[in-house]
A and B are shown apart, each in its own frame.
Chain A
Amino acid sequence: MKVLVPVKRVIDSNVKARVKPDQTGVDLANVKMSMNPFCEIAVEEAVRMKEKGVADEIVAVSIGPVQAQETIRTALAMGADRGVLIQTDTDVEPLEVAKLLKAVIEQEAPGLVLMGKQAIDGDNNAVGQMLAALLDWPQATFASKVEVSGQTVKVTREVDGGLQTLELDLPAVVTADLRLNEPRYASLPNIMKAKKKPIDVKAPADYGVDVAGHLKVLKVTEPPKRTAGVKVENAAELVAKLKTEAGVL
């Protein structure tokens, strides 16, 4: 079975994001970028499927600037077989991402699409769902366990108040949650070997998708700064403040 894994290049999760002074977006100049952690989990799951013999080929797909090749290389170093980069400097919106992925999937015909449930930059949590709808494929989101057997896949989902288990016919779209697995460190020899694995570079126009988008960002602001607390002398004062100032009693 061929597994297709979309991967996104995002601001590194350890970097403190700063808003641009003109409030048009997050400042990405000279900021460390990495693979979205949820995408990393999806890649890891695909590699484990390949190691178990369930999958025989893993294709990593990224949509983004030329540097997104590095993100694909990371997936190749972890164990993906080849990559497709749809190169664009536009910040592509979820619906257009889904349309582009649909076009790639129609060419590649994978048995399973494994992807992160969301990217940590926009936190949209939309592409997986949109993609399944466009393809008219079954979907299982927020997976914490994925077991493929024959022509079906059993997915355990983390839902409010417990776990839900779904069985889907393949092909299907599955989105990975945090606890699906702990991604491996790509070994140094594999990082070197990844250089020799092929990456196809395409443009959105090759798939006939217009990436202009429909949404307009009006303003991006920093979260409100936390102000310093106050010290109270005794319990009576605390209760008084909770009543009068905090209004919780």
Chain B
Amino acid sequence: MALDTETRDQLIEAVRRFVAERLRPIEAQVAENDLVPDDVVAEMRDLGLFGLSIPEAYGGLGLSMEEECLVAIELGRTSPAFRSVIGTNVGIGSQGLVMFGTDEQKAKWLPGVASGEIVTSFALTEPEAGSDSASVQTRARRDGDVYVLDGAKRYITNANKAGLFTVMARTDPDKKGAAGVSAFLVPGDLPGLSVGKPEKKMGQQGAHICDVIFEGVRVPAENRLGAEGEGFKVAMQVLDRGRLHISAVCVGVAERLIRDAVAYASERKQFGQTLASFQLIQAMIADSKTEALAAKALLLDSARKRDAGETVTLEAAATKLFASEMVGRVADRAVQIFGGAGYVADYGIERLYRDVRIFRIYEGTSQIQQLVVARETIKRGG
């Protein structure tokens, strides 16, 4: 259900204010401690951020894709590590359940996911299955009314906090590729499931990724999402939505960086003039602004198409490709405009520069997006 403009604006305004007043002031502290403080997570929970995309019937907000993107743009105006706290519940961790779950599965899990009591995680990537995600080796063997899971997942966001994993595992070893893969809802407390230590990363300190190991984890058969062999279909549809969400965050960070760069360029003087009065600086500002506007237009157009019921595999991939590469260039120019100050940690620009690097890699690398865009374009005949 689409919101009326007034309610939508109030919603966006509430998030913008929360980001400006509560999150931005502690960005450096979160990066330093590699931790989003518990009280801030509690505030995010109270605000209702964990339930953005969960249907209203299950206690969420049931936002449309366009509305979710507008909220994600606001969350992008601060360190992406904050967005990551709620990111899996809004996106990849919950959407398989929302799209393919039975009524029983939804009733059991979604209220906790919407409130943020249960943090979710999406476990697809493996040591040997990254971009080639259809080659997952984690096994799910049927044993009476349970499936026994064995294998390892890698770089799983929020795994160390997750109460529920959406896991892609191979149910049919004879079928190579996507056809043998099924999706499962795996509670984090099942015996045999263990989570590794958070990896040390280039950026986004405060957001964590870990290995997840399955050793004879007995998952009730009723926890299978969709039919056997449908896992990949689940994964791909989840990723379509996730790609638009990530693109929105890219647009938000880009707008933030442009704002910071313009503020700095308007203050800082060299050769007796502000940086902003030099045409070579202006060119960088113009390029960044133009690209950010283009990404936003593409994003909102794609989101509206998805809300109208169209298949947006092509548009979602194209948006993520453009938006993630765009924010990389915008961040690079922001460092350049700040000059030495951009390279020094105090200004936070170098931190955002590192933070945005992951957008070109996760939920499908830019190269995978190119393949998807090309494949879909050829399929459509142009």
Chain A interface residues (CB < 8 Å from chain B):
69-70, 73-74, 77, 185-192, 194-195
Contacts and interface: CB of A to CB of B under 8 A. Distances in A.
A238 B51 CA distance: 62
B6 A187 contact: no
Given A74-B10, A185-B17, A188-B52, 16 more contacts: A70-B6, A73-B7, A73-B10, A77-B10, A185-B46, A187-B48, A188-B51, A189-B48, A189-B51, A189-B59, A189-B61, A191-B7, A191-B14, A192-B3, A195-B4, A195-B7
Nearest to A73: B10
B17 A188 contact: no
B48 A188 contact: yes
Contacts, number: 47
Chain B interface, >50% SS class: helix
A172 to B, nearest CB: 32
Interface residues of B, number: 19
B15 A188 contact: yes
Nearest to B18: A185
A181 to B, nearest CB: 16
Contacts of B14: 77, 185-186, 188, 191
Interface in B27-75: 43, 46-49, 51-52, 59, 61
Nearest to B7: A195
A126 B339 CA distance: 52
A64 to B, nearest CB: 15
A186 B48 CA distance: 10
B51 A191 contact: no
Interface of B: 3-4, 6-7, 10-11, 14-15, 17-18, 43, 46-49, 51-52, 59, 61
A237 to B, nearest CB: 27
Contacts of B52: 188
Contacts of A74: 10
Given A73-B10, A74-B10, A185 B47 contact: yes
A187 B46 contact: yes
23 contacts: A69-B6, A73-B6, A73-B7, A74-B10, A77-B10, A77-B14, A185-B17, A185-B46, A185-B47, A186-B10, A187-B46, A188-B14, A188-B47, A188-B49, A188-B61, A189-B59, A189-B61, A191-B7, A192-B7, A192-B11, A194-B7, A195-B6, A195-B7
B18 A191 contact: no
A192 B48 CA distance: 11
